[in-house]
């Protein structure tokens, strides 16, 4: 577990005024990393740190020798902590660096936010037990969770090439689907397009092929977390997923937030990891005392929807649900330990999705499949529109933040994506 230090002091203020606003996601206690390109086109893609509504260009500030994010992510924990401390001290109110670093700031409004790093491999887990139970109940009311769910962190390997950054617009995908009344499948645009509220774990330090990462050291291999929307075509998924699992239902688009909130920034928001007494306890490679004491994270997650009609009439996104990552059945450390127990080598820039995170209450589900009970209970929006699944022009925005008494609230920024009509 990353330890607390002076960078987490709630009383710290920054000489960047917007970083001191009570509602900012990016106070000086956060300092997430990402990549950006100035909109004037004068420079190539750069590594930056979000501070209020500004970006600190690391090379311009003399804090990085290159713009290779993988190099930064794969640094040892002590090096990352030293860099965080240096950035924190330089951005604090009264810092001697203010005069020179002020020239290394660029307003976010004048930058294009890019993928925070090149995504190498992508694995999507299924750690949200409330989601797994709700979806399982739709298809297997008497046995919603399959026998292995409480023993093994289930996952499938996804497609990294179609992962985009917040602001992504994608075409409604077409694939084979078969309705119950049809004798044969038909190639057509999906009619049951859905979002999935997830977090993504960005791997920093990798491991050598053949070497398993023990759970006691697993979090040291995570660089940080992002928001992740794993868009899903439910009708395509229902037709194709047996016997090998998701394929075209999942590989057309995934969206992540542009800022990686580091494990160092998240240190104040650890929570105990627990398992109900009546459930199977994890096998030894997925369990240790420190993990039980600190292995979970207290992160509030939210989903908002804006329809095309809402956008045209000036209505803001409407919140559909809220949940918390502390309710996940499997943790960040357990995902990493399990992924490598067979000798699989992870690399800097690999992305591990947590799977959909839902709350126990149906109205706080992390997907429309759950929220509408498989399409039986439409969601009615404040303007009178209804949704069973997503329609063309719909924009989904996900947000997340951490709050704890005695510490500064930090956030993840936004993860937003918009559905375009299928190509003819």
Residue 233 contacts residue 173 (beta carbons within 8 Å):
yes
Residues 6 or more apart whose CB falls under 8 angstroms from that of 141 comprise: none
The single residue of 131, 270, 294, 338 carrying the catalytic annotation is 131
> Is residue 131 flagged as an active site residue?
yes
Please identify every residue annotated as catalytic: 131
């Amino acid at each position: 577990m990353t330890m607390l230090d002076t960078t987490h002091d709630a009383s710290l203020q920054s000489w960047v005024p917007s970083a001191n606003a009570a509602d900012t996601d990016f106070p000086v206690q956060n300092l997430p990393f990402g990549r950006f390109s100035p909109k004037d086109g004068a420079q190539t893609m750069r590594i930056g740190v979000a501070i209020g509504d500004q970006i600190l260009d690391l090379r311009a500030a003399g804090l990085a020798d290159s713009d290779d994010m993988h190099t930064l992510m794969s640094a040892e924990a002590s090096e990352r902590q030293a860099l965080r401390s240096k950035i924190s001290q330089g951005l604090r109110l009264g810092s001697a660096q203010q005069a020179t670093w002020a020239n290394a700031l660029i307003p976010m409004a004048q930058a294009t936010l890019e993928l925070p790093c090149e995504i190498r491999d992508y694995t999507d887990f299924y750690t949200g037990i409330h989601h797994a139970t709700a979806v399982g109940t739709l298809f297997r009311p008497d046995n919603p969770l399959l026998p292995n769910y409480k023993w093994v962190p289930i996952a499938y390997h996804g497609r990294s090439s179609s992962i985009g950054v917040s602001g992504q617009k994608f075409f409604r995908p077409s694939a084979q689907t078969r309705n119950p009344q049809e004798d044969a499948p038909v190639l057509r645009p999906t009619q049951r397009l859905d979002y999935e509220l997830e977090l993504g774990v960005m791997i920093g330090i990798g491991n050598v092929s053949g070497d398993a990462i023990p759970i006691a050291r697993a979090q040291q291999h995570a660089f940080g977390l992002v928001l992740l929307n794993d868009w899903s075509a439910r009708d395509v998924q229902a037709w194709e997923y047996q016997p090998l699992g998701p394929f075209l239902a999942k590989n057309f688009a995934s969206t992540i937030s542009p800022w990686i909130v580091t494990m160092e920034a998240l240190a104040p928001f650890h929570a105990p990891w627990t398992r109900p007494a009546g459930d199977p306890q994890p096998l030894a490679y997925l369990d240790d005392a420190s993990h039980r004491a600190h292995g979970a994270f207290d992160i509030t997650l939210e989903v908002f929807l804006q329809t095309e009609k809402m956008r045209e009439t000036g209505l803001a996104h409407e919140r559909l649900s809220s949940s918390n990552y502390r309710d996940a059945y499997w943790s960040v450390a357990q995902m990493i330990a399990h992924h490598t127990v067979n000798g699989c080598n992870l690399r800097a820039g690999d992305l591990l999705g947590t799977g959909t995170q839902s709350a126990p209450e149906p109205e706080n589900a992390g997907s429309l499949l759950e929220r509408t009970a498989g399409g039986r209970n439409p969601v009615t929006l404040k303007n009178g529109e209804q949704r069973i699944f997503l329609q063309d022009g719909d924009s989904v925005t996900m947000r997340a933040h951490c709050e704890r008494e005695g510490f500064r609230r930090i956030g993840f920024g936004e993860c937003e994506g918009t559905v375009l009509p299928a190509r003819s």
